[in-house]
């Protein structure tokens, strides 16, 4: 059975290792966190491993998980090399969505294989995620030896592996942020405006959640164009003007509304002139043209 060391064992690391231990796919060797208390909490959750707070206390393993924040990944990898803590032939893996496996390229000097795996899932509550992980998509890239071995391990805990080109990682991760993090932001902004309009907070939350769920269900059942509803889809300029007037005192809300409105135009079936009219309206160009026209009239009076 292969052994695993994990450096920076937070919510994601704990979840992945707990699943590996429960499936008896590998043995967790050392857990290294910034504080010994945190490392012990991770070991307790995983059910296996030695809790450490110093990297130089780590013992050799077949697989090294670097599950730190992104800006620490390369530093940790280079420190493992500098302190001669890597076992030749082992696999070095990080879980960043935006960084490629190249950030670990120095590990090749220690005759190791590198890879990057990004589980497309929110790990906010590991105790819940371990029960809902089955079928989770995982983007994987790196040295073929590492991709094969790590891919088998992640498939074993229920992951659905897909390959991604390392040069596309940043664009890929930006898409994940839009889909996940910004959906939460949109929920918050919609709720805020509902509450400002006098709707009870509990009702506002239920309304926004219901509408978002309905939209996602429609997209999955139909397609983006057929699922689209609302004033942009109808070309209802009066409604859009009314919305922009109501939101103008809140810079964040008006910026979100107009930016997403422009992004929605490509999903509509309007002719080019109508799309231009709506884009100008969302850009505020019509108001500027109107103001300019009034100024010209006044200058001739």
> Which of 138, 167, 196 is the endpoint of a domain?
167
CA distances from 226 to 84, 217, 223, 271, 282 (A): 58, 12, 5, 17, 22
> Which of 110, 139, 167 is the endpoint of a domain?
167
Same domain, yes or no: 158 and 184: no
Q: How far apart are CA 92 and CA 159, in angstroms?
A: 19
Domain annotation covers residue 76: yes
Q: What is the CATH number of the domain that holds 19?
A: 3.40.50.720
Q: Classify 84 as helix, strand or coil.
A: coil
Same domain, yes or no: 163 and 86: yes
Domain annotation covers residue 70: yes
Same domain, yes or no: 145 and 13: yes
Same domain, yes or no: 114 and 262: no
Q: What is the pLDDT of residue 295?
A: 46
Same domain, yes or no: 157 and 15: yes
Same domain, yes or no: 52 and 191: no
Same domain, yes or no: 162 and 22: yes
Q: How far apart are CA 36 and CA 15, in angstroms?
A: 19
Same domain, yes or no: 21 and 125: yes
Q: How far apart are CA 139 and CA 165, in angstroms?
A: 9
Q: What is the pLDDT of residue 74?
A: 96
Same domain, yes or no: 243 and 277: yes
| Domain of residue 138, residue span | 3-167
pTM exceeding the 0.85 threshold for the entire prediction: no
What's the burial of 300, exposed, middle or buried (CB within 10 Å: 0-12/13-18/19+)? exposed
Domain annotation covers residue 172: no
Domain annotation covers residue 129: yes
Same domain, yes or no: 12 and 135: yes
> Which of 135, 167, 199 is the endpoint of a domain?
167
Q: How far apart are CA 209 and CA 265, in angstroms?
A: 24
Domain annotation covers residue 300: no
The closest alpha carbon to 58, from 77, 83, 30, belongs to 30
Same domain, yes or no: 73 and 134: yes
- If one counts the domains in the chain, the total is 2
Q: What is the pLDDT of residue 285?
A: 63
Count of Cβ atoms closer than 10 Å to residue 122 Cβ: 14
Domain annotation covers residue 261: yes
Kindly state the tokens that stand for 162: 């897909």
Domain annotation covers residue 301: no
Same domain, yes or no: 24 and 44: yes
State which residues of the chain have pLDDT below 70.
Answer: 285-301
Q: What is the pLDDT of residue 284?
A: 87
R_g (Cα) of the chain, nearest Å? 25
Domain annotation covers residue 297: no
What is the distance between the terminal CA atoms of the chain, rounded to a whole angstrom? 89
Q: What is the pLDDT of residue 124?
A: 87
């Amino acid at each position: 059975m292969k052994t695993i060391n994990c450096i920076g064992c937070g919510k994601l690391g704990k979840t992945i290792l707990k699943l590996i231990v429960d499936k008896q796919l590998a043995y967790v060797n050392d857990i290294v966190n910034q504080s010994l208390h945190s490392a012990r909490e991770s070991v307790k959750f995983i059910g296996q491993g030695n809790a450490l707070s110093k990297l130089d206390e780590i013992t050799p393993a077949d697989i090294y998980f670097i599950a730190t924040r992104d800006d620490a990944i390369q530093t940790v990898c280079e420190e493992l090399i500098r302190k001669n803590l890597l076992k030749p032939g082992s696999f070095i893996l990080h879980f960043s969505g935006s960084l490629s496996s190249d950030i670990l390229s120095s590990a090749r000097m220690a005759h190791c294989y590198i890879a990057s795996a990004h589980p497309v899932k929110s790990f906010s509550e590991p105790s819940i995620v371990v029960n809902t992980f089955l079928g989770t998509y995982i983007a994987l890239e790196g040295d073929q030896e590492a991709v094969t071995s790590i891919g088998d391990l992640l498939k074993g805990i229920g992951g659905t592996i897909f390959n991604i080109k390392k040069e596309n990682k940043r664009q890929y991760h930006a898409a994940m942020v839009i889909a996940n993090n910004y959906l939460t932001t949109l929920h918050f902004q919609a709720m805020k405006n509902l509450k400002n309009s006098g709707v009870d907070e509990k009702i506002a939350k239920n309304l926004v959640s219901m509408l978002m769920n309905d939209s996602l269900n429609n997209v999955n059942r139909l397609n983006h164009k057929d699922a689209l509803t609302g004033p942009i889809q109808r070309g209802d300029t009066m409604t859009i003007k009314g919305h922009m007037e109501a939101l103008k005192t809140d810079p964040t809300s008006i910026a979100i509304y107009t930016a997403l409105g422009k992004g929605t135009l490509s999903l509509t079936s309007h002719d080019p002139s109508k799309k231009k009219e709506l884009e100008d309206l969302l850009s505020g160009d019509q108001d500027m043209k109107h103001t300019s026209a009034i100024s010209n009239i006044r200058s001739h009076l």
